[in-house]
Chains A and B, each alone.
Chain A
Amino acid sequence: MAVSSPLQLSVVIHPVVVLTICDSYERRNEDIEKIHGTLLGKVEKERIEIRNCFIDDNPTASGKKKFNLEEFQRLFDLHQRVYPNEVIVGRFSTGDQIDDTALAMQALFSRVIESSYVAFPIHLLVDTNLTDSHMGIQASVYHRYGVPGNDNGSIFTPIRYAMGYYPEEMSASQLFQRNLAIGGIAPVHNDMQHVIATSTKIDELLDEVLKYVEDVTAGNTPFDSKIGRSLSDAIMAVPQIDQSVFKDMMNNSTQDLLMVTYLGSLVRTQLALAEKLNTIL
């Protein structure tokens, strides 16, 4: 590992990890307060991408369940069958601070599976208690320090992280956020509804921009040159299309689409006809 300092690390978290942790937290046994688990992902030089996680077995009521390494290894093998490129990149726990269990687990992991463990294991702390009415997510790097061969301390250094999305994840997250506004439960859109929703959104955004511009020109709001520049950039981005070229494009596309509709209807008529013929015969 060429990385010498944890400060060079860039950590990317995919939303699926946080949602899985939240869900598992809600399903924990009644008498325990925190859940712990393992983070999986990919490491490319100093970029660590956290893509997946799995949760440790729920500890028993006494809270003193021994971590079963064999079982963990089996689970990891199962996971590797589907995602062979993913490695263990760290651990996570819930709550507002890193507790003893989390610390002990980090130590155990870096000792037992040293070979497959990354140089700088991540610890992700997800505040499911919602301290300060906010779900804080903190990533830190776990180190050991002390005389070589004789570890006697460990430290968690907080580091910055970013959320990462695949395009698909982005569309899903956007859909989830949109659903929030209407009570959290919503049907999946089809293509047409989607276009409508997006146009409405664009319309709203344009209204907002217009209002801002009018306010500024009327002198009610102090102007911000940064916003002004972004606005002019946006306007410049609108392509200038020649009227006749545009018309051609319009006509061609309309004709194509109409023909496809016609074909589609033809095929469906054929299908219905074949069905009828079969019934008669």
Chain B
Amino acid sequence: MSRAEIDVPIKKVSIDGQVILQIIRHCQSERDSTDLAQGVLLGMLVDNCTEVTYCFPFPEFTEADTDNDIEMYQLDMMKYLRSINMDHMQVGWYRASPFDLNVIKDMLDSQYTYQKQIHESVGLLFDPIKAAQGNLSMKAYRLSSKVMEMYGQGSTEFTVNSILAAGLSYENIFEEIPVEIRNSSLCNVYLAQLKLNHSSAPTSYLTLGTDSHLEKSLRLLSESLDELHQEAGKLSVYHKTLRMHHQKQQSLLKKRGDNAKARDDDDSKQNRPPPAPYRLDNLLVANQTNKFCQELNQYVSQSFSKLFLAEALENNES
């Protein structure tokens, strides 16, 4: 816990408009491929705000690429950026996540690596589908310090008891950090004189046809519920084996009586209780499911508002 007190909490993430456009561009070019676009965020820290001022994309790595290639690419890129006076501190990563797809396991891994190296790192998720409909959606996440501590101690640490002891629940794995967008004055000059043609602007977020989106979200939800169910199954199997193990030991003890107590130590070595199940997946799936529900709720609330808007219009007309 002492670590958490030393840590400066990150209160917000501020992103340059340029970075957002670059992420959009990257997602756009990667739209037809199966891989999700991802890349590195660069920037600096000011008090408890992470400022993202530049980013560069990762190419699609093929099987033939070694870790070395990836590192070389990053190094080359950083070297270039330093030569043109860009901020060259890595402050996180970004990733396209249409429909908040199941990226959560990867997210944990990469966020852990980043956050371990640079404490203030953030993970940025961008939803290209919402953006294409006219609503720019960016979310920044960080791992809570509890997860950082436990994950660092090795993956075997995530057992029922240790999770309980740390007070970890599916709700506090990730912290969402508010995002704000900032542009330099010069960029603002340009933006102000930009005449956007509003008629070509995407307005599909005002359409009422919501079925396909709902369907997709519900399907994702039910998939993640399936996974959750599997995890619950694993836990109950564990409890069963544990109970059987206890029974067996009890009966053994009774049979032998007191005189065999000396050999107990030996026996207990052979008769180890079954290994505690790995519970991290369960936490993550629960977190994902919860996120789906939140998304769904948000979606429903905005759909309702649109519906009532349409109703008011229709009633006025007649």
Chain B residue nearest in CB terms to A19: B18
Do the beta carbons of B297 and A264 come within 8 Å of each other?
yes
A171 touches B25 (CB 8 A): no
B153 close to chain A: CB less than 8 A: no
CB distance from A109 to the nearest CB of B (A): 18
9-residue interface stretch from A138-146, A149-157, A192-200:
A192-200
Q: Does B205 contact A (CB under 8 A)?
A: yes
How many angstroms between the C-alpha atoms of A67 and B24 in the bound complex?
31
Contact A82 B293 (CB under 8 A): no
Please provide the chain B residues from 16 to 52 with a CB less than 8 Å away from any CB of chain A in the complex. 16-18, 20-22, 24-29
From B76, B83, B193, B208, A135 is in contact (CB under 8 Å) with B193
Closest to B303 in A: A257
Residues of chain A within 8 A of B194, CB atoms compared: 15, 163, 173, 177
Which residue of A has the minimal Cβ distance to B209? A253
Contacts of B182 in A (CB 8 A): 184-185
B278-304, CB under 8 A of A: which get 1 and which 0? 000000001001101100111111111
Is A83's beta carbon under 8 Å from chain B?
Answer: yes
Q: Which B50-106 residues sit within 8 Å CB-CB of chain A?
A: 53-54, 57-60, 73, 76-77, 80, 83-86
Are A260 and B218 interface neighbours, CB within 8 A? yes
Residues of B within 8 A of A78 (CB): 73, 76-77, 80
Report yes or no: A14 in contact with B25, Cβ–Cβ below 8 A: yes
A218 at the interface (CB under 8 A from B): no
Q: Is the CB of A18 closer than 8 A to any CB of chain B?
A: yes
Q: In the complex, which of the residues B180, B208, B309 contacts A185, with contact meaning CB atoms closer than 8 Å? A: B180
With both beta carbons as reference points, the residue of chain B lying nearest to A197 in the complex is identified as B135
Residues of chain B with a CB closer than 8 A to A265's CB = 293
B150 at interface (Cβ–Cβ under 8 A)? no
Q: Taking the complex as formed, is A281 at the interface, i.e. its CB lies under 8 A from any CB of chain B?
A: yes
Query: Is A128 an interface residue when CB atoms closer than 8 A count as contact?
Result: yes
Q: Which of B59, B192, B290, B305 contacts A195 (CB 8 A)?
A: B305
CA distance A58 to B84 in the complex (A): 6
A55 touches B84 (CB 8 A): yes
Question: Does A97 interact with chain B (Cβ within 8 Å)?
Answer: no
Q: Which of A51, A167, A189, A249 contacts B132 (CB 8 A)?
A: A167
Residues 244-281 of A at the B interface (beta carbon under 8 Å): 246, 249-250, 253-254, 256-257, 260-261, 263-265, 267-268, 271, 274-275, 278-279, 281
Residue B136 CB within 8 A of the other chain: yes
Size band of the interface chain B makes with A = 35 or more
Determine, out of A26-34, A110-118, A220-228, the stretch whose residues face the partner at the interface.
Answer: A26-34
Contact A194 B80 (CB under 8 A): no
Q: A176-B191, A194-B135 are in contact. Are A23 and B298 (CB under 8 A)?
A: no
A85 surroundings in chain B (CB, below 8 A): 29
Known contacts being A177-B194, A199-B309, A275-B170, is A168 close to B27, with CB within 8 Å?
yes
Give complex CA distance A85, B28 in Å.
13
Chain A CB within 8 A of B244 CB: no
Main secondary structure of the interface of B (DSSP, over half): helix
Nearest CB on A from B294, distance (A):
8
Kindly report which residue of chain A lies nearest to residue B24, judged by CB atoms: A168
Residue B184 CB within 8 A of the other chain? yes
User: B237 near A: Cβ within 8 Å?
Assistant: no
- B134 partner residues in chain A, CB cutoff 8 A: 167, 170-171, 174, 194, 198
B314 in complex: contacting residue of A24, A246, A281, CB < 8 Å: A246
- Give bound CA distance, A134 to B194, whole Å: 11
With A58-B85, A275-B169 in contact, do A168 and B131 touch (Cβ < 8 Å)?
Answer: yes
B187 touches A19 (CB 8 A): yes
Bound complex: CA A173 to CA B21 (Å): 9
Which of B85, B136, B289 has a CB less than 8 Å from the CB of A29?
A: B85
Nearest chain A CB to B143's CB is how many angstroms away?
19
Asked if B179 CB lies within 8 Å of chain A CBs, one says yes
A219 beta carbon closer than 8 Å to chain B: no
Determine whether the beta carbon of A26 is less than 8 Å from that of B84: no
Whether B206 and A198, one on each chain, are in contact in the complex, defined by CB atoms closer than 8 angstroms, is yes
Given contacts A16-B25, A57-B84, contact A253 B208 (CB under 8 A): yes
Please measure, in the bound complex, the distance between the C-alpha atom of A16 and the C-alpha atom of B29, giving whole angstroms: 14
Q: Are A176 and B17 in contact (CB under 8 A)?
A: yes
**Which A residue sits closest to B232, measured CB to CB?**
A274
Answer whether residue A22 sits at the interface, using C-beta atoms and an 8 A cutoff.
Answer: yes
Do B190 and A22 touch (CB < 8 A)? yes
Given contacts A194-B302, A271-B170, A275-B169, contact A187 B180 (CB under 8 A): yes
| Residues of chain B with a CB closer than 8 A to A217's CB | none
Which of B1-9, B107-115, B196-204, B253-261 interfaces with chain A? B196-204
Q: How far is the CB of B127 from chain A (nearest CB, A)?
A: 10
User: How far, in whole Å, are A228 and B214 apart by their CA atoms in the complex?
Assistant: 40
Interface residue? A241 (CB, 8 A): yes
Q: Which 7 A-B pairs have the closest CB atoms?
A: A81-B59, A16-B21, A168-B131, A19-B18, A191-B302, A167-B132, A27-B85
- Enumerate 10 A-B pairs (CB-CB under 8 Å) in ascending A order: A19-B21, A29-B85, A81-B59, A168-B27, A176-B17, A176-B191, A184-B182, A264-B297, A267-B293, A268-B293
A163-B194, A166-B25, A268-B293 known, 4 other contacts, Cβ within 8 Å: A58-B83, A195-B302, A263-B296, A265-B293
